[in-house]
Amino acid sequence: MKGLDVAALFVATDGVYSGAVGVDVWGVERDARLYGGPYPVVAHPPCERWGRMWHGSTRRPHQFELGDDGGCFDAAISAVRRWGGVLEHPEGSKAWGAFGLVEPRSREGWVLADGCGGVTCSVEQGHYGHFARKKTWLYASGVELADLPDLVWGRCEQRIHPRALELHGYAKARRVGMMAMVGGKHKKRIREGTPVGFRDVLLGIARTVIRLPAQDTGQDAAHAARRDLQALRDRDI
């Protein structure tokens, strides 16, 4: 489609990416696992089976298997490596260990994540407009380290929900955090939502991807990335 330059994968069709200039939105009905290019991507694969409660409700322990997401994370990281871009998941995601990625630490900035040239970092979306701290891990590929943004590292300021403070006092309100006070039928969407400021950061990363059109779509993604970057360097000599 004319004017598109980034694909947003595993996102809500009517969410924060909808209507964003130049963004090809892949919601549930399109099945982002089938994405075949050609744009760099911003990927938000489902996190339920990779987080602290991957096994399901404490009332029904181990009703799910770790990583049982229908291949979504695998497809997302493959797309990031193949087409360049960035992937977002909650801090502590067990997908990092399952896919052999180095786990980032807060305040360290971008660090090498794997042998494919990917990098990772830890950042809090509260710096970019989320109502809670929302600690997040990113994985980026196809971008020169010098072109990656210097994000707002470290902890957000302390945020306490006023209703929790009223009901429980400071100590417990601080302990339960902002997320625990979100209710209603849209609570899941509110908690998982990406603020516009953070969306723009991720789109900016995807738009700095350095990639030549791949001629052999069956080749290893790591080899393709090295070849493309070397070709660019040789051209500039």
CA 71 to mean position of chain CA atoms: 16
Which of 29-33, 169-173, 181-185 has maximum average pLDDT?
A: 29-33
The verdict on residue 18 lying in a domain is yes
Q: Residue 24: what pLDDT?
A: 97
Q: Residue 62: what pLDDT?
A: 72
| Cα separation values, 195 from 74, 130, 134, 199, Å | 25, 6, 11, 6
Structure confidence by residue, pLDDT tens digits, 103-130: 998 878 999 999 999 999 999 998 998 7
The verdict on residue 228 lying in a domain is yes
Q: Residue 225: what pLDDT?
A: 43
* pLDDT of 3 above 90: no
Mean pLDDT of 186-191: 54
Is the CB of residue 139 less than 8 Å from the CB of residue 97? Answer: no
* pLDDT of 67 above 80: no
What band does 179 get if pLDDT is binned at 50, 70 and 90? low
> What's the burial of 31, exposed, middle or buried (CB within 10 Å: 0-12/13-18/19+)?
middle
Q: Residue 54: what pLDDT?
A: 56
Q: Residue 185: what pLDDT?
A: 55
Q: What does the CA dihedral 21, 27, 32, 34 come to, rounded to 10 degrees?
A: -100
Structure confidence by residue, pLDDT tens digits, 218-234: 444 444 444 444 443 44
The verdict on residue 163 lying in a domain is no
The verdict on residue 179 lying in a domain is no
> Rounded to an integer, what distance in angstroms lies between the CA atom of residue 124 and that of residue 136?
6
Q: Which domain holds residue 101?
A: 6-158+195-211+219-236
Mean pLDDT of 87-99: 96
> Rounded to an integer, what distance in angstroms lies between the CA atom of residue 137 and that of residue 96?
9
Domain count, the chain: 1
* pLDDT of 192 above 70: no
Q: Residue 212: what pLDDT?
A: 42
* Beta-bridge mates of residue 42: 8, 86
| Cα separation values, 172 from 122, 131, 135, 209, Å | 26, 18, 20, 44
The verdict on residue 230 lying in a domain is yes
Tokens of 138: 């990113």
* pLDDT of 74 above 90: yes
User: Percentage of residues in the chain with pLDDT exceeding 90?
Assistant: 53
The verdict on residue 177 lying in a domain is no
Q: What is the pTM of this model?
A: 0.76
What band does 216 get if pLDDT is binned at 50, 70 and 90? very low
Mean pLDDT of 177-183: 57
> Rounded to an integer, what distance in angstroms lies between the CA atom of residue 9 and that of residue 2?
18
The verdict on residue 171 lying in a domain is no
The verdict on residue 169 lying in a domain is no
* pLDDT of 161 above 80: no
What band does 15 get if pLDDT is binned at 50, 70 and 90? very high
